[in-house]
């Protein structure tokens, strides 16, 4: 018979936060759930987009599933003249949705006979571009 504090068939009647582990049909918590008054980060505040006076778009923060749609909408109205310079020097994290946003912007600009120029990618972003071989297809420049 299982101990009384752990049900044999776990039922979660509340939203569960924290990592969990299921062993032998029993649910055990690995770490405590966040406190009720713990401040949660708004996903839209994880990426800052700044349009520079020279047409460069500066990104700071994380480019992921939460923030990529914001970037896509910002870049969809790309320049009508000249190339778009995207400074990624302050991007600390990028996942596949961030890559998709960059590729989409590049494709849209190429269709209008313009180019996307990646400026000073952070080491994490550069490594990701290299792993995906996008460094061979995108124009990457050092410095602003």
Where do the structural domains in the chain lie, given as residue ranges? 1-38, 43-141
Q: What is the pLDDT of residues 113-144, one digit of tens each?
A: 999 999 999 999 999 999 999 999 999 999 75
- Backbone φ and ψ for 63, nearest 5 degrees, come out as -115, 95
Q: What is the pLDDT of residues 22-69, one digit of tens each?
A: 444 444 444 444 454 444 455 557 888 888 888 889 999 999 998 999
Q: Domain 43-141, what fold?
A: Transcription Regulator spoIIAA (3.30.750)
CB 116 within 8 A of CB 139: yes
| Euclidean distance between CA atoms 140 and 135, whole angstroms | 7
Residue whose C-alpha is closest to residue 118's, from 56, 38, 50: 56
Other residues' Cβ atoms within 10 Å of the Cβ of residue 81 = 7
Q: pTM to 2 decimals?
A: 0.67
């Amino acid at each position: 018979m299982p101990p009384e504090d752990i049900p044999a068939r776990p039922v979660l009647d509340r939203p569960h936060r924290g990592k969990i582990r299921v062993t032998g049909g029993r649910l055990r918590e690995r770490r405590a759930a966040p406190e009720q008054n713990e401040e949660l980060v708004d996903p839209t505040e994880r990426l800052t987009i700044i349009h520079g006076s020279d047409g460069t778009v500066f990104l700071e923060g994380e480019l992921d599933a939460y923030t990529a749609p914001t970037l896509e909408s910002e870049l969809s109205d790309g320049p009508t003249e000249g190339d778009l310079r995207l400074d990624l020097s302050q991007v600390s994290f990028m996942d596949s949705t961030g890559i998709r946003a960059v590729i989409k912007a590049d494709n849209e600009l190429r269709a209008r006979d313009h180019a996307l120029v990646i400026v000073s990618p952070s080491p994490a972003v550069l490594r990701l571009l290299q792993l995906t071989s996008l460094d061979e297809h995108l124009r990457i420049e050092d410095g602003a």
